[in-house]
Structure formats: C-alpha cells, structure tokens
Amino acid sequence: MQTVETLGDADAPRRPPSARTTKSLFRLSLPMFVHSLLTFLVMLSEMLIVSAYSADAAAAVAIVRQVLQVVFEISSMVGIGAVILISHSLGRGDEEGARQIATLAVFTNTLLGLLVGGLLFLGGPVILRILDVPASIVDDASLYLSVAAAAMVFNALATAAIACLRAFGSSRVIVITGLLLSAIYIGATYVLVLGVGPIPPLGVTGAAYATLGSRIAMALMFGLAVYWTLGLRFVAGPIRARLSLVRRMLVLAFPSVSDYIGYGFYQLVLLGFVAGFGVSSVLSRTYVMLAMTFLILVVMAVSQGNEVLVGYRWGEGRRQDAYRQALRSSFAATLVTTTIALLFWLLSDQYLGLFGQGGEVLALSTYLLLLTILIQPGFAFNTVLLHSLRAVGDVRVPVLVSIGLTWGLGLPLAWLFCVEAGYGVEGVWYALIIEETLKAGFMLSRWHGRGWMRNAIA
C-alpha cells in the first residue's frame, strides 16, 4: 500500500500552478453556498406561495417536483462529465481545449434536454398513474408536469452552461445571475399563483407558467454568460472526435448520475412507506426534507468547489495535494452542515411556524430535525469523497457500492424500522443514519487506501 509521501507526486510531472488553479476552496465554494441559499429560499417561497392558494395545489406541485428531481439529474449528465474534463485541461494549461469541451457540452446537453423533455411529456400520464396520484389533484399534476417537460430543453442548456462556468472558476457570474433569476421567479410565481390587480389567481397553472418562464430566462442569461465570459463559439469539427469526447463525458458522469437517479426513486419508495402512517407523518417528512434539501445543497456547494480543486491538483500532477484537499473539504463540509442542522433544531418552532403547524406535526418534525443532526457527518464525508473520487475518474466502484448500500441495506432497514417495527417516519431517519455512516466509512477507506489510483484517469 502506498504512503502519503509516495502518492503520485513522484510519478507525474509537476506543472507550476496557474492563477486559476490556486483558488481556494473558500473562494470556489462560497459562491456555490450563496447559490444554494438562494435555491433553498426559492423552494421555501414557492411552497409558501402555493400552499397559500390551496392544499391541493401544494400537493400537486410537490408530487411533480419529486418526479422532476429524477429528470433534472438525467439532464445534467453531460455537464457533470464536462467539469471533470475541463478542470483537467485547465490543470494542464490547455485552455483552448477546455473551451472546446465546454462548447460541445452545452450543445450536447441541450439536445439531451430536448429528448428528455419529449419523453416526459409523452410519458407523464403513465408516471402519474404509477404513482397513484389522487383523483382530486391529478389534473393539476398533469398540467404542471406537461409544462415542466417543455421547460427541460432550457433547463438542460442552463445546467451545462453553469457547469462550464464553474469549471472555469467563474462562480461570481453564477451567483449574480442566480440572484436576478431568483427574484424574477419568486415575483412571477406570486403574481401568477395568487393574482395581483387585474391578473387573476391561476393556482397550479400559474406556478407552471412561472416555472417555464424562469427556465427560458435562465437559459438565455447563462447562455449569454458563457458566450461573453468564456468566449465559446460552436465551430464545426470532426464528427468522430466530437462523439468520442461526448462519450467520455457520459462515461464519467453516468455512474454518479445513476446514483442520484436511484436516490430519487428511493425517496419515492420511502414516501410510500410513510404515507401509510397518516397526513401528520407525510407533512412532517415534507417540512424536514425541505430543511434537509438545504443541507444537501450546502454539502454539494463544498463538494463542487472541492471537485474542481482536486481536478486542478490532479491535472498539475500534484497527487498528494489532491489527496489532502479532499480530506480537508470533507471535514469542512461536516462542520458546516452539522452546525446548520443544529440551528434548524434549536429554531424548530420558528421554522415550522412558517407553515402554521403545531401539535403532532410540530412535535414529530422537531424530533426528525434532531435526528437529522446525526445524519450530517456521514452524509458530508460520503458526498465530498464520492465527488473527489469522481474528479480523478474513479467512479464505477464507489457508485456501485453507494447504490448497493442504498437499495440493499437502507431500503430494507427503512421498511423494518418504519413498517414492521411501527416507528413510522422516525424509522426512516434511523435507517438513513445507519446508511450514510456506512457509506462514509467506505468512501473514506477507499480514498485513504488509494484504491482510486488504479482506476484514475490520466
């Protein structure tokens, strides 16, 4: 087994770090954290606005959002692979090659979004039937899903553009543009859902149109950002070479994306377990999952910044620095998210009061927020180290193990604690604590044991 001192620095040529590659984790992750905060506030605002219209409208939007979680991950595939290849090219000093990769990624991901949107539009009714959506909200859910399908092509373009900007270290552009887009979306949602002046309240229809409009604006603004900031231009080139590059992006991204897709389906199954324990359990899960979504976004902000840094270090031949960078980032993510989870629990009355809930829902949600604190250390280490392994090209085994633990251990434990033992929604959280802790143990063991050295890309 290799020691830290022999890790890679001796077997790869070292290149002098550029100004881009010497950026700190803080500088790369802070804009992503702000972006994550904006995302959470947008989700919270949307839920409050739609809930103010009616409970049925909120339920319809929530169901479709769960479906879209899976679809959004599919449409981000090319962008994920592009970040890895771009960061490696920049680490080698090949900026022109990085621009070519970014251009191809935006174009290809837009085509993928068009395909996914078409399939979602055609298959929407089937999906809603499989989910057994209540008859009272199926029309609203179907409408929202159809409009969301039309927005997928714009979402895919914007997602790839954001990934390329992040890989080039242009995080400030992402934050500034995100601020403007968030304001536009919240304003449009409020006006179209609840109505203002001569504009009548449109409910779910208004929420759907606000979503479509915001995605179009998102595509235009981030598309212009990569055009002007990075100077991307689509130039015709050898088809075979371009297809080969796209294939590399997909190969690098698919294992990680499949993990996220599997997680989306996993959450659907868990929701089915919880629904049998009544409305209070479902509402408690919904409110706490919203808080957990913010924690996930924070971890992802750190992970994405760390992924770029690890890619830079790897591309420069600084293998030992890459190894240490991932561990430092893991500890940082753990400290930040555990602290935030603790604050959610301490301020649970104020947080849950936003939804006007008390009694059983308040008590149950508060307890789930307490359990959420115990989930964070394992989740943070698991996520950051998985992204670090992905940054050096070691994706297949870690993702297979992650999926195996989710479906082979997490799901059976959730059923055992929730349904068989009768703990209800609390049982799901017990299973999550065990699952995330074991995943973190495996990722830490693989990173520290240098197993990724055998599968890493050059």
Instruction: List phi, psi (to 5°) of 20.
Output: -70, -45
Span 351-364, average pLDDT:
80
SS3 196: strand
Q: Which residue has the higher pLDDT, 145 or 229?
A: 145
Least confident interval from 153-157, 167-171, 208-212, 264-268: 167-171
Q: What is the mean pLDDT of residues 70-90?
A: 80
Task: Evaluate if residue 420 carries a pLDDT over 70.
Answer: yes
**213-250 tens-digit pLDDT:** 999 999 999 988 888 877 766 555 555 556 777 777 77
Supply the DSSP string of 347-361, one letter for each residue.
THHHHHHTTT--HHH
3-state DSSP assignment of residue 199:
strand
Confidence at residue 29, expressed as pLDDT on a 0 to 100 scale: 64
Whole-structure pTM over 0.85, yes or no?
no
**What per-residue confidence (pLDDT) applies to 58?**
76
Largest CA distance in the chain: 72
pLDDT digits (tens, 9 = 90+) for 275-332: 767 667 777 888 898 889 889 888 888 887 888 888 777 777 677 777 888 888 889 8
Rounded CA-CA distance 352/144 in Å is 27
Token pair 């629904």: residue: 275
Query: Is 270 within 8 Å of 353 (Cβ atoms)?
Result: no
Over residues 191-210, the mean pLDDT reads 92
Average pLDDT over residues 434-440: 95
CA-CA-CA-CA dihedral for 296, 297, 300, 305, to nearest 10: -150
What per-residue confidence (pLDDT) applies to 1?
A: 38
Q: How confident is the model at residue 11 (pLDDT cuts 50, 70, 90)?
A: very low
pLDDT top residue among 166 and 111: 111
pLDDT of residue 8: 45
> Which of 107-116, 149-158, 225-234 is predicted with the least confidence, judged by mean pLDDT?
225-234
pLDDT of 382 above 50:
yes
H or E element: which one contains 213?
helix 204-229
The larger pLDDT score, comparing residue 365 to residue 320, is at 365
Q: Is the pLDDT of residue 102 over 80?
A: yes
